[in-house]
Chain A
Amino acid sequence: MSVVALKPYSFPAKDVRENFPAPLFFFGWEDHLMFGAPIALPLPPDTPFGAVGPTVLSSAYGYHPDFARIDWSKVEWLKSGQPWSPDSVKSLAENGLKHKDVLRFRTPGLSGLNGSCN
C-alpha cells in the first residue's frame, strides 16, 4: 500500500546512511530490562567487532552488576532477530553489518538482577 494523496507524494527519507557521520547501529541486551530500551550508536565501519562489547557498550550498560561478569566469548548474538556469529577480529563492515542493523546479545548465565530479567 502507499499514501493516498491528491498530488504525487515523494519526499526524501530522513535517516539514510549519507546523513550520518558513521553508520548507526542498535543494540539490545536480552534479559536486562532495567535498561528500558535498546540503544542507538553510530560506529565507524572499521571498528573491530571485538571492541564493541567490552569497550563500546560499557558506557551504556556498565551500570549493571552483570556487565562486569560477561564472558564475551560466550555471548550469543542475534542480528535482525536471527542467531548470528560475528568474527570478533574483523571489523563491523567485514562482518557484513550495515546502517541501522539491530544486534541483540544474550549473556548465558546472566539474566538480570536475581534472574528477574531486570
Chain B
Amino acid sequence: MDTPVIKKKLGLKDRYAAMTRELAWDTTYQPMDKVFPYDKYEGIKIHDWDKWEDPFRLTMDAYWKYQGEKEKKLYAVIEAFAQNNGQLGITDARYVNALKLFLTGVTPLEYYAYRGFAHAGRQFTGAGARVACQMQSIDELRHYQTETHALSHYNKYFNGLHSPQHMFDRVWYLSVPKSFFEDAYTGGPFEFLTAVSFSFEYVLTNLLFVPFMSGAAHNGDMSTVTFGFSAQSDESRHMTLGIECIKFMLEQDPDNVPIVQRWIDKWFWRGYRLLSIVAMMQDYMLPKRVMSWRESWEMYVEENGEALFRDLARYGIRKPKGWIQACEGKDHISHQTFAVFYNYNAAAAIHTWVPKEEEMDWLSEKYPETFDQLYKPRWDYWREQANKGNRFYQKTLPMLCQTCQIPMIFTEPGDATKIAYRESDYLGNKYHCCSDHCKEIFDNEPEKYVQSWLPPQQIYQGHCFKPDVDPTKEGFDPLLAVLDYYNMNVGRDNFDFDGSEDQKNFAAWRGDFTQGAQK
C-alpha cells in the first residue's frame, strides 16, 4: 500500500486517518494470522476490521497535548494540597482508611489495566482497535502514577500506606482485586475488552468513580477528587471503547453472540463482587456520606443498565444472568463486607470501627428493610463488648469462594440469614463458591480456577512466612509471622480505629491546627 501524499494542512478526518489506520500495513513476509495469533482462538469471528468505528477520534499528538494539560492541573492541585497540609482538612481520620483500600486495592489494578491494554493493543488485527487500546494503555499507566502520587502524601501522616505493591501480592483481601484482573488479562483480547472495557468500565465503573469521588469532596479530600476527575475524563473514552467493542463483535457474526453473552454474564458478576469493597466504603467508611450504596446502585446500574440492555436486545443479548441477584444484594453487601473486615481487622492494614449512633440511624433510614433487623444487632453487641474492653477479633482464617476469593459472607437469594454455599467436584477435589454465578464461572473453566491463590490455603500450606522463619520453633505465632510477611506494622496499621495511632495523631494535629488558625 502506498502512503498517501500528505497535503500541507489536513482536515480533521484525513488527519485522523493518516495518523492512525494508515500507519498500519498488511504483512507480506509473514502471514497476518501468524503475526496476530491471539485474536482468533477465542472463537470470535471478524470479517471486516474496517467496520470498527474508532471511538476516540484522537491522534497521538493531540492525545499528548490534552493529557499534558490535565497532568499540569492535577499536579498543581496535589502540590497545593501538600503545601497547605490538606490532610488536616478532611472530615475525620477514619476517612483515610477508604484511601488505604483504594491505594492498595484499586491503584495496582490501573497498572494491570495498562499491561492488559498494551497486550490487546499489540494483538488485534485491526489497526483502529489497536490504536484505541494503546491510548487506553497509556491512560491506565497515567492513572497508576497520579493515584500513587496523590496518595503518597497521606503516607507521610497515616499508617498502612507504606507498602502497597508488596501488600497487593500477598494480603488476603487484596487477592480479590488482584485475582479479578489476573483472570481478565489471562483471557484473550476480546474477553479482556468485554471484561474490563464493557462489563467493568461501561456498566459498573460509575459506581466507583462518581459516588466515591463525590464522597472525597464531601470529606474535604481535594487531592483525591482531583485525581478522580482527571481519571474520569479518560474513563468516558474507555466506556466508549467498551460499548464499541461489544457492538462490533455482535455485528460481525451471529456466532459471536453466545460467546459475548457468556462473557457478559461472567464479567458482570465478577465486577459486581469486586465492588463489594466500594459498597462498604460508601456506607461505612465515609464519615460524611453522599448517598447510600443502594441509592447509587439504583441510579447508576439499575436505571442505566435497563436502558443499555434494552438497546443490546436487538443483537440477541440479554441482561447478565446475575442481574436480579445483584440487585437484591444492594440491601446487603455493604453491611456484610464491612462486618467481615471488622471480624478480621487484626489481619488488615486498615482500621475499622463500630459506626457511631447517628451513623447507625443513617443506615437504618437508608436500609429500612434490612439494617435494623439483620445487621444492627451485631453492631450493638460489638459496641457493648468493645466498651468493656472485649473488642471482637476473629483469629481463625475464613473460608473463601474459589472464584471471587471473597470470604463466604454472601447470603442465599431470598434469605439473608443463611450463608450461600455452592460446591463443585473437579478431578476428585472439592471446590466451594459463594453463589450460583461464581460456581458457574468455576464450572465453565475449572482448569483456570483450580490455580486460585487463596490466602488461607496458602497460609496453611506454609507459603506466607518470610524465608528465615522457623515454624517449629517454640512460641512461634503463625498469625504474627503472616503479618510480618505482609510488611504490616502490628499495632499501628491494624486493629480498631479507636485507640489507633492515626486517631491520636489526627486529633493532636487538628487541635494544633485549629489553635493556630485562631491566632
In chain B, positions 453-500 with a C-beta closer than 8 Å to chain A are 453-454, 456-458, 460-462
Which residues from chain A contact B447 at a C-beta distance below 8 Å? 2-3, 9-11
Residues on B with beta carbons closer than 8 Å to the beta carbon of A10: 447
Check A113–B419 contact: CB distance below 8 A.
no
- Which residues of the partner chain B approach A30 to less than 8 Å between Cβ atoms? 418
Once the chains bind, are A24 and B408 in contact (CB under 8 Å)?
Answer: no
Is B145 in contact with chain A by the CB < 8 A criterion?
A: no
Given A38-B399, A117-B374, A102:B421 Cβ within 8 A: yes
Pair A102/B456 contact, Cβ less than 8 Å: no
Query: Which of B37-45, B77-85, B211-219, B231-239 contacts the other chain?
Result: B37-45
A39 close to B396 (CB less than 8 A): yes
Nearest-neighbor residue (CB-CB) of A98 within chain B: B430
Residues of B within 8 A of A35 (CB): 343, 394
Contacts of A102 in B (CB 8 A): 399, 421, 423, 430, 432
On chain A, the residues within 8 Å of B515 by CB distance are none
CB within 8 Å for A15 and B417 given contacts A35-B343, A59-B396, A113-B377: no
Nearest-neighbour CB distance to chain A for B270, whole angstroms, equals 16
Interface size, A (range): 35 or more
Residues of B364-404 whose CB lies within 8 A of A = 373-375, 377-378, 380-382, 385, 392, 394-400
Contact status A4-B421, CB under 8 Å:
no
What's the least CB distance linking B30 to chain A, in Å?
A: 17
In whole angstroms, what is the CA distance A33 to B342 when docked?
13
| Least CB separation from B42: chain A residue | A4
Partner of B460, one of A4, A20, A28, A98: A20
In the complex, whether B230 has a CB less than 8 A from a CB of chain A is: no
Q: Is B304 on the interface with A (CB-CB < 8 A)?
A: no
In the complex, A57 Cα to B343 Cα: how many Å?
16
Within 8 A of A (CB), among B413-457: 417-419, 421, 423, 426-427, 429-432, 443-448, 450-454, 456-457
B208 to chain A, nearest CB (A): 23
Query: With A34-B378, A40-B399, A116-B373 as given contacts, are A13 and B417 in contact (CB-CB < 8 Å)?
Result: no
Is A101 part of the contact surface with B, judged by Cβ < 8 Å? yes
Q: Is the CB of B409 within 8 A of A100?
A: no
Q: Shortest beta-carbon distance, B145 to chain A, in Å?
A: 33
A36 and B398 contacting across the interface, CB-CB below 8 Å: yes
Counting CB contacts under 8 A, is A80 at the interface?
A: yes
Contact B343 A38 (CB under 8 A): no
A11 touches B378 (CB 8 A): no
Which one, B397, B399, B417, B448, contacts A33 given CB within 8 A? B417
CB distance from A15 to the nearest CB of B (A): 5
Pairs across A and B, CB under 8 Å, 23 listed: A1-B443, A5-B41, A11-B451, A14-B450, A15-B454, A20-B460, A21-B462, A24-B457, A24-B460, A33-B411, A36-B343, A36-B344, A36-B394, A37-B399, A39-B399, A40-B396, A40-B397, A40-B399, A80-B423, A100-B430, A100-B431, A116-B373, A118-B381
- In addition to A14-B453, A40-B456, 5 A-B residue pairs with Cβ atoms within 8 Å of each other are A19-B461, A37-B340, A38-B421, A80-B423, A99-B429
User: Which A-B residue pairs are the 10 nearest by beta carbons?
Assistant: A36-B340, A37-B407, A60-B396, A13-B450, A117-B417, A37-B398, A116-B377, A118-B378, A100-B430, A38-B399
